[in-house]
Structure formats: C-alpha cells, structure tokens
Amino acid sequence: MRIAPMSEADLPSVLAAWHCALVHDQVPESEFRRVILGDGNYEPGAVQVAWDDGGVAGFAAFLVRRTAAGADGCGQPYEFKSGFLKAFFVKEGEAGERAADVLLEAGEAYCAGAGKTEVSVVQYAGPYLFPGIDVRYQRLREVLAGHGYRDVRTIEDVAVNLCDPIIARLLEKAWSRVGSSVELLTWRPDLLPLLQELVATGDQPHWFPPGWESRYAEPDERVLVLRKGEKLVGWARFRPNVPEGAFGPIMTLPSERGNGYGNLLLLEAMVRSRQQGTVTMSAGWAATGFYVTNGWHITRRYAVLSKELS
C-alpha cells in the first residue's frame, strides 16, 4: 500500500473507484475538479490517493484554512481550530481497511502540522460535494468510527413538489401575517447599500465572502429582498430551472426574526419558480423545520463527524 498526492492524471482512476464506492454520489469530473482542485484552500499534500496492486484503494481530501476566513472567504473564527475531511472513500475488504489507516493517519498529521486540533467531516462552507457522510454509507461511518471519529450532528436536504395546491394557500397566509409592513422587491443594483447594511448586521457572513458585491451589479429576478422602511430585513436567492430548481441561501435580519419574513421569501420563490415551469425544488444543508412547515420533505440525511487530534 502506498499513498501519494492526487495528480491530474489520477482523476479518471480516482473517479471510477469513487463511483463504485459512493453509489449515491455520481459526480461529473468537472464538478469533482471544481470542488477538490479548484478550492482556494486546496493544497496538494492534503489530497491523497491510496494505491495497491489492484489500483485505487482509497482517497481522502483533507483541507486546512491558513487564516480564519481562508482563501474561500467563508471561514469563521470559531472554525479556525478545525481541519476538514471534505471527501473520503475506501474500497471494500482488507485493502480498504489498510487504505483508511494510511490515508487518515497522513491527513490528520497534515492538519495537526497546520496547528489544527480537530478534524470535521465535513460541515465546510467553501466548495463542497456533500455536507457530511450520507447515513446510507454505514460501512464508511464505521471505518471512521474505528479511527476515533464520532457523530456530532445531522444535516438534511429537502425538496418540494411545486404543483401542490397548498402552496398558494400558504403564500396567502404568509402575506396575511406580514401585511403591509414590508415591501417585496426583486434585486436592483441601487439596493446595494441596504444589502451591505443587512450583511454587516446579519449573522450569515459565509454567504458573502470578499468581493460578493460584484454578483449584485445587475438586476436579478432570482434574488428577492424584503424592505421595511429604510432597511432590508430579508434576502433570498433561488434558481427556477426546469424541471428541478433550487432554493437558497436565505437570511433574515436577526432582530426581525419571528415575523414571518423567511416564510414569505421562501413561498414567493416557490410560486415564482412554478410560474417559470419549475416542477420540483430542492435545498441542501437545510434548516429542516423551517422548510417542512412550508410543505417540504426530507430527501437525504448526512452525519457530520468530528475527531479531536492529540
């Protein structure tokens, strides 16, 4: 068994083994390349492939941020102690067990050498393929547990059928609750100072990395904001693709939560997407209760694991 940093030439072999091991995550090469190699925090020594006589025996993509924000701009100070294992698989059998031993030992040493005191799998706000380990990969979770990783939380993906007639009634109810206290707007560049104020006073800075303002230089009907007087109290993005769209992220002003503004933004995005031909809509890494209240259901569940480094 030997391990080495993954090279460009290794990609076809790694992806072929990935697709055999992670049957619920058939990732195109372009997406794999973007997330693993295109991450600003990528360091070749942290992304390793295990090889045996039969080819690829395993793969581990560790990652460290060298500053609190990191090259992706999404890191938070409380996360700076953490390294991340953002992608991992080993093949079945004894060879996979040996691959796990060497890959995890090397990756954890890399994180410790960067001053990290724990490894998180994954809950990483930079480019990611999945926010944790799909709970259906029971063996993979057992492998990690055998190396000292423990489940610390659950993350879920959700989806909704936009053809459900209840959505229109929920939107009517949301507007009835909010009344005329707020104005719903699609994005215009002249609103940028108000959005900058919302970002500064909000609690979701990872959605607004350095240079985020450049994404708001043009009008965009896929961005909704709620204005209350001279301030914005809510913001949301959605993608009304056909047949499946996506919602998120969303943020409301912390001091204004509990007034129904988040429900209104979500439901307006759902109705507007349906009007453009979208049939179903999904959201990843979701605040599940919020979505279920508005007619959504859970589609996928992930375990987030963590290990303290000695």
64 forms beta bridges with none
Q: Give yes or no: residues 51 and 171 share one domain.
A: no
- Would you write out the chain's pLDDT as a tens digit for each of its 310 residues? 999 999 999 999 999 999 999 999 999 999 999 999 999 999 999 999 999 998 999 999 999 999 999 999 889 999 999 999 999 999 999 999 999 999 999 999 999 999 999 999 999 999 999 999 999 999 999 999 999 999 999 999 999 999 999 999 999 999 999 988 899 999 999 999 999 999 999 988 889 988 999 999 999 999 999 999 999 999 999 999 999 999 999 999 999 999 999 999 999 999 999 999 999 999 999 999 999 999 999 999 999 999 999 8
CA-to-CA separations, 101 to 106, 157, 296, in angstroms, rounded: 9, 31, 40
102 class by beta-carbon count within 10 Å (0-12 exposed, 13-18 middle, 19+ buried):
middle
pTM value? 0.89
pLDDT at 159: 98
Give the phi and the psi of residue 33 in degrees, each rounded to 5.
-65, -45
Q: Give yes or no: residues 146 and 174 share one domain.
A: no
Find all residues with CB under 8 Å of 233, minimum gap 6, and list them. 182, 198, 226, 227, 252, 253, 256, 259, 261
Q: Which domain holds residue 83?
A: 2-154+303-308
Considering its fold, how many domains does the chain have in total?
2
Q: Give yes or no: residues 131 and 12 share one domain.
A: yes
Q: Give yes or no: residues 98 and 196 share one domain.
A: no
pLDDT at 310: 82
Residue corresponding to tokens 């959504």: 296
pLDDT at 206: 85
Q: Give yes or no: residues 50 and 180 share one domain.
A: no
* Cis peptide preceding 240, ω within 30 of 0: no
pLDDT at 181: 87
pLDDT at 117: 98
Q: Which helix (H) or strand (E) holds 55?
A: strand 55-63
Q: Give yes or no: residues 108 and 232 share one domain.
A: no
CATH of the domain at 79: 3.40.630.30
Q: What is the dihedral of CA 85, 89, 93, 95, to 10 degrees?
A: -70
Give the span between the Cα atoms of 275 and 162, in whole angstroms: 10
Q: Give yes or no: residues 143 and 168 share one domain.
A: no
Q: Give yes or no: residues 13 and 147 share one domain.
A: yes
Q: Give yes or no: residues 178 and 195 share one domain.
A: yes
pLDDT at 210: 86
